[in-house]
Structure 1
């Protein structure tokens, strides 16, 4: 597995990657892991029987919350060295390589990458990222054995925008992180609910947190507040400025680098999760929220219709009346929405996602015959 571009613990990308690694290891398919020094201790302690080889990559090539013009270029240069190292290795040359990110390794033909979403093609963080997703990646994927992704919605987008055959795209859903549900906790027992909306992962502009602040909270500041969990990115700076402009300093609290326990507590005590993204590949926070009996308000986009079904309340983020209607719906039917969400979460258990991975591997094996 190529995890060299996977960043810090606690991110959605990290949770997906370690789950896939666990599933492959449990099934006897995991030979080695390529990862940064930051993750070596975790995998060394986790995979002792059978033991898994670990190939360490420089920390500078892993991902971070900050947009960098140079880190992707450093990775691209380093990937050629890494590709040569793997090709020249007698032990590694015959294994299949799976990356849980969209980064491939040169010279390695028996390879799969994971495209979590096509957001960077439409809402890029930089010009370099736009070029990579719009021009380089569509050509590169045709040289590989196939692509993994996290939803049927993104599978359709990859087929349409990159010209990859549907039979070469495998879908494996994300699963709910069980650490958010401590052992012995009865999630049906509600904590004291505050008139606070929670936003999680609002580190990038496509997360569209500003639409909620401008089109709802600014008009209802006497009754509601919001907690925004995000990284200290450029978009965070924009949100801080917007909060000041709208006079919401007493209504909005920003939190960074919080523990899983604190996140779990926020899920349990908020009125609703707000997730008005313009583009997503899956949407982990809404599923996490549902697993802890927190109803969710999300933007009306295809991927949320697929993943959340009727368990969410949908909103047009740009329309004030749509927000107000969504909140009014929760005031009346909050318990029904919670119950529907708890049922929906069962679709994203670790076991079901492992079944999807095994089916994907079987599909790949059948096609290669």
Structure 2
């Protein structure tokens, strides 16, 4: 393969329109969109919409991303959106934009035809967002002998820890893995830990490559709301508030800390699912507003300001596929204090403190000791953080390897 011919699935980002800040997986698909546009000037993009599939090119992708990033408004609804009564829905306005830029459109039975007639020989279909990752879609691509299917898998949490997923997610995820095993030429793994966990789910002839995810752009700092007091030593935890993230442990810890020296705990993230008992506990906690603070609507720039100067980033998660928050803390010179997971050792090496999530005493002791540290006297950290350049260099080599018939 000479120059790469690429078709990126943007269904994940389309599904997120109007639903608030991008999640970690969303940001990965967003980074791939920029890379595909930079790599292949004739690149193609696919989305599954509420009315079938849309295939579009560079101009459509640029218009979609500009609106997604907030640089341009979503267009007025088109006739189809108005006829279905969904013209005011942001996602359907996004679909209207993509219909204007469509190179072709179809329902599923004609996806094979659309792909075969509009994609160049040797095109790689990339699915990196866990959306539209179905047997129907992948089979329609692979039915074209000169096309390749490449999938990025972020984790196997719904299979290994179904208790941390909605009931309908686990069978859906099982179907995704089967579709990947049956139709993918290459699987990109975000960590060696994910690759190892996949070993029993993929046949030997499916190539796989490990490429650590790059760091998102460092946003500018924004002032914090005036009610957030920053003179007291503070610890921050980032991420959606859901059972897997184990915020319960942190409330348990804060209840053990001595009142006179108790640092502040800042919980930054949107409320997720299946945590009503925790939410009830957090809402009525006697330390809420005194030493425990919840922030659901801080901007990325305010989160950076909150994190900088913190005595630690707390990450007592039960399971992760990669884990961005500790890396984002390290970039700002903040010490991560994490659960003792193999994937976190892989990405953070010796730049983090690792603690057993069953050992409440160790968490309490470490947090109290850390809260007394003089941050100004600490040597600057220079961690070896993953970059998108390294990620895409690895992915490019792997894509060329599957075309040439060698293993990545």
Q: State the TM bucket, normalised to the shorter chain.
A: 0.7 to 0.9
Q: Which runs of 5+ in 1 are unaligned?
A: 47-57, 63-78, 183-191
Q: Match for residue 242 of structure 2?
A: 204
How far apart, in 2, do the equivalents of 1:155 and 1:213 lie? 34
Cα separation, partners in 2 of 1:221 and 1:240, compared to 1, 3 Å: farther
Say whether residues 1:159 and 2:192 are aligned partners: no
Note closer, same or farther for the CA distance 1:85–1:166 as it changes in structure 2 (3 Å cut). Answer: closer
Select the residue among 161, 178, 190 that pairs with 2:217.
Answer: 178
Pick closer, same or farther for the CA change 1:220–1:329 going to 2, 3 Å: closer
Corresponding position: 1:220 with 2:257:
yes
2:311–2:371 Cα contact (<8 Å) kept: no
In the other structure, the counterpart of 1:98 is: 126
- C-alpha distance in 2, partners of 1:265/1:28? 37
Provide the residue aligned with 2:386 in structure 1: 348
**Structure 1 residue 300: Cα displacement:** 0.1
Match of 1:277 in 2: 317
TM-score between the two structures when normalised by the length of structure 1: 0.77
What is the aligned residue count? 330
Query: Per-residue displacement from partner, 1:51-92 (whole Å, max 9, x unpaired)?
Result: xxxxxxx999x8xxxxxxxxxxxxxxxx99357335334113
Instruction: Mark the CA change 1:80 to 1:327 in structure 2 (over 3 Å): closer, same or farther.
Output: farther
> TM-score scaled by structure 2?
0.70
Instruction: Supply the distance in 1 between the matched residues of 2:203 and 2:372 (Cα, whole angstroms).
Output: 45
Counterparts in 2 of 1:212 and 1:2: CA distance versus 1, 3 Å: same
What is aligned with 1:68? none
Q: Please tell me whether residue 81 in structure 1 is matched to residue 124 in structure 2.
A: no
Q: Distance in 2 between matches of 1:283 and 1:326?
A: 21
**Displacement after TM superposition at 1:135 (Å):** 5.4
Is residue 243–residue 249 contact of structure 1 (8 Å, CA) maintained in 2? yes
CA distance in 1, matches of 2:279, 2:335: 26
Work out whether 1:237 is the aligned partner of 2:259. no
Larger mean CA deviation between 265-274 and 355-364 belongs to 355-364
CA deviations 1:146-192 (Å, max 9, x no partner) are 212211110110113x134386112222212223366xxxxxxxxx6
Q: State the secondary structure of the residue aligned to 1:174.
A: coil
Range with bigger deviation, 326-335 or 8-17? 326-335
Stretches of structure 2 lacking an aligned partner (at least 5 in a row) = 1-7, 50-59, 69-80, 92-104, 143-147, 222-229
Q: Give the whole-Å Cα distance in 1 for the aligned partners of 2:31 and 2:325.
A: 16
Flag the structure with larger Rg: 2
Q: Secondary structure at the match of 1:347?
A: coil
In structure 2, which of residues 30, 38, 43 is the aligned counterpart of residue 26 of structure 1? 38
Equivalence for 1:43: 65
The 3 A distance-change label for structure 1 pair 4 and 317 is same
Match of 2:397 among 354, 359, 366: 359
Say if 1:305 and 1:362 are closer, same or farther in 2 by CA, change over 3 A. same
Find the aligned partners of 1:204 and 1:152 in 2 and give their Cα distance: 25
Tell me, yes or no, if structure 1 residue 150 matches structure 2 residue 190: yes
Which structure is higher in helix share?
1
- Does the CA-based 8 Å contact 1:293-1:338 persist in structure 2? no
Check whether the contact 1:230–1:236 (CA below 8 A) recurs between aligned residues.
no
Deviates more, 1:296-305 or 1:84-93: 84-93
